[in-house]
Amino acid sequence: MLLVLSSTGYAYGSEAIVKQLPPGWTPLAASAPDAGLSLSGKFQRQGNVDTALVVQNGQDGAYGLAVVPGSVTDGTASIVKTFKDIKANPPHLSLVQPGSYQPACHTGNSCAPLSIANESIGLCFGEASCEIIYFADGAYHEIYLTD
């Protein structure tokens, strides 16, 4: 496996994965080997290991979460979430196991727990907020756990 090295020397993704990203998007360089900027899991279906990584767009300064499917039958790489400034609260990815999760409710009403069938992507921004990005019904969705 070929690895692409950041300017600090830490590997952050295979060359094959980097080539599949949408035009203009590149992996965010890691400042440490365990920076939590990439993650592998069975997000879309069992049997195929997909890769999630934090990316940046050099054209407009946006950041995003890209998912590269482990199989060509699962589609092409896509940006499933975008965000702007990450300096104050840097993003960190973690693997979320299938299960039932309680969302943060903003309406004042009680929210029912959400059952997630596949491994999913935990995305936290420092101590500011955390969410789960999961695949269901042919698309990625998000559920906020903290804000």
User: pLDDT tens-digit profile of 9-53?
Assistant: 334 457 778 888 999 999 987 765 567 899 999 999 888 899 999
- Could you list the residue range(s) of the whole structural domain that residue 85 is in? 3-28+36-146
pTM above 0.75, yes or no: yes
What is the reported pLDDT for 75? 76
Domains: count for the chain: 1
Q: Determine the Cα–Cα distance for residues 12 and 109; give it in Å rounded to an integer.
A: 41
- pLDDT tens readout for residues 82-98: 998 888 889 999 999 99
Which residue in 133, 2, 143, 20 sits closest to 75, CA to CA?
20
**Which secondary structure element, helix H or strand E, spans residue 140, and what is its range?**
strand 139-146
The burial of 145, by beta-carbon neighbours within 10 Å (0-12 exposed, 13-18 middle, 19 or more buried), is given as middle
Q: Are 98 and 18 in contact (CB under 8 A)?
A: no
CA distance 23 to 65: 14
Q: Is the dihedral of CA 88, 92, 138, 57 positive or negative?
A: positive
